[in-house]
Structure formats: C-alpha cells, structure tokens
Chain A
Amino acid sequence: MRLTYPSSVKIVRVPCSGKVDVQHLLRAFEKGADGVYIVGCKEGECHYKYGNFRARKRVEQVQKILSDVGLEGERVQMYNLSSSDGPLFVKYAAEMDERIRKLGPNPIKARVKAKTRNQQAA
C-alpha cells in the first residue's frame, strides 16, 4: 500500500499473537525497549480461536508487573486489527510511537547500554 509508519517501530513476526509470552514482553523491557505492543487479529477472528485473547491477558499481566516495579504500564499495549487493514496498522503504529515519546525513554536503557559496553570492553 506504500504507507509509511514510524521507523521507531520494529516488527517481530509470529504465527499468532497467542505465541507471545509474558517473558518475551518483560525481556524486551529488561533489554531496554521503550515500548512493546502486540498486534493480533480482531477478537473472534483468531485462526487459532483464542490466541488473541491469551495475548490480551498477557499484556494486562505485564502492565500490572511494570507498574509494580516502577515503569509505566502504558508502555505495553494490545491492538486488534484485520491483517489486511494497512491504514489501521499505520494508525496504531503512530499512536504507539506518540504515546512512548510522551512517556520518554525506558529509564533502565542507559544502565543496560553501559553494562553492554562494559561487557564488550572486557
């Protein structure tokens, strides 16, 4: 469709949003990600029936964990759309980019970068 979406968004493809686990989401933040969002099929239209519902539950779990440890829960989100809906994908990408820019970078990113630099130097 030749639509553009913010370059801050990196895509990781999975066969179903239900494949994404709580640990995947948390590990991303551990490694310094500013925000993570899952885009799944529209509710009721999951090819594997409940995968997108599982993904939503996991996103909610991670939102709670993040707010318990001092990060903002809004950094992780769940979106549902049809796989053919390009313009909506772009809209959600822009919305997430805007939200994360407002929240600011991941507070632990600087630490993570310093640690990686030290490990590489050693």
Chain B
Amino acid sequence: MIVANKKPVGEIIEYVKDCNKILVLGCNECVTVCEAGGKKEVGVLASALRIYFANQGKDVAIAERTLERQCDHEYLEEIRDIADQYDAVVSLACGVGIQFTAEKYHSIPVYPGVNTCFMGATEQRGLWVERCQACGTCVLAYTGGICPISRCAKRILNGPCGGSSKGSCEINKEIPCAWQLIIDRLKALDRLDLYEKLFQIKDWSTDRAGGPRKVKREDVQI
C-alpha cells in the first residue's frame, strides 16, 4: 500500500489559518492502514483545529468526512453537493487522492494533510517499510521475490556490489544487502541457477525517469 505520514499540525494550520469553513477529508484505504489519514486521524485533526481556532478567538466551522477512496471519480462525486460550502479542503489521502480531489474541485483550495512516502508494507504495528518503487518491469520472478530495484541502494541487477558486508548494505548497517537476501532466498528455494543467469538489460523506459506514466487498457475501455 501507499505509506504516508501525518503532517505536523503547525504546518496544516499555516495553510488554513485564514479560512472560515474547512472540510477535513480522509480516505478509507492505504492511509487508514498506515494510521495517517483515516477516519480516526480526520477526527483528531479536526479536534486539534477546533481547539486552535477557538483559542485564537475565531469561529471556524470544521467538518469531517472520510471517503472510501479519493482516487476514483465515483467516490469523489459523493461530496459534489457540499464541496462549495467550504473555503478549503484538507485532504488526508495520499498524494494521488489530494491531486485528484483538487482536479475535481478546482475552485476550492485542497491542502495536503499528510506527506506521502512510499509503497510499502506493515512489518509490525507502527513500522512501515518500503518494498516497491514502481519501476514498471517487475523482475521478482528471478530474484526469489526480493526486489533489487527498491531494496538495493544501487538498484544493481547481477549480484551484490563490493560494499556488501556481513549481509548489510554499505550505506547503513541496519539496511540488509538486498542481494544477500536474494541469494539466501534462492538457495533456500534451490534455484541458484536463476542467480547464475545474467539479467537482460532492464527496460527503464517504464520507470519514472521517463516522465509521468500511464497504463492504458483498451480491453476494458468502451
């Protein structure tokens, strides 16, 4: 899922301090799982903002709403009839949701309530780690399910570099060497033949470096 982190309240206050009616809009998907932008976090932010504005002596109405997702037209339409009542929307969705909301409601400023960080998984409660960088050409079949693009600092494809030491990456002892993990996994799967094979030159045109990407599926478009 997309992992995000709450923005400091002070930063959000800077965005909305001159507004009179604010909608705090959450998302029920990834940001709920990483405890940054779900219904609970919407409630906490709204409470904090109410206390702030009351303390400033201002009468500001703060509404709370959590949509199923903010990256689909149908869900964003649910606030069509109430959106223009507000001076600002603070969206706690990931960067995708914030932008989609802003595109759909272009007459109202939409401010981010979270910092979107990476695509990752929940290693344990309170700890989310990066696993995928959306390179567009997945090579996990050849590396025992461990990604050398996202987990290797150098994104190399044919084994560890000279800096791999005692199973750790040279940039930080706490980061495991991805290729060490791959070799160990392939050994356990008895597929070290995959390691021996040289990788084809990777098609990087599907990576971000080529500019914003899109996926088109003519078979599902009418």
Contact = CB atoms under 8 A, between A and B. Distances in A.
A26 B47 contact: yes
B26 to A, nearest CB: 13
Interface in B35-71: 40, 43-44, 47-52, 54-57
B8 A30 contact: no
Interface residues of B, number: 17
A78 interface: no
B171 interface: no
Classify the secondary structure of A's interface with B.
helix
Nearest to A68: B9
Contact of A68 (B43, B47, B48): B48
A23 B47 contact: yes
Contacts of B49: 69
Contact of A69 (B40, B43, B51, B57): B51
Interface string A58-76: 0000000110111100000
A30 B43 contact: no
A112 B50 CA distance: 11
Interface residues of A, number: 17
Contacts of B52: 69-70
Nearest to B56: A70
Top 10 A-B residue pairs of the complex, sorted by shortest distance between their CB atoms? A26-B47, A108-B54, A69-B52, A68-B9, A70-B55, A23-B43, A69-B51, A111-B54, A65-B48, A69-B48
Interface of B: 8-10, 13, 40, 43-44, 47-52, 54-57
8 contacts: A23-B43, A23-B47, A26-B51, A27-B47, A65-B44, A69-B49, A69-B51, A71-B55
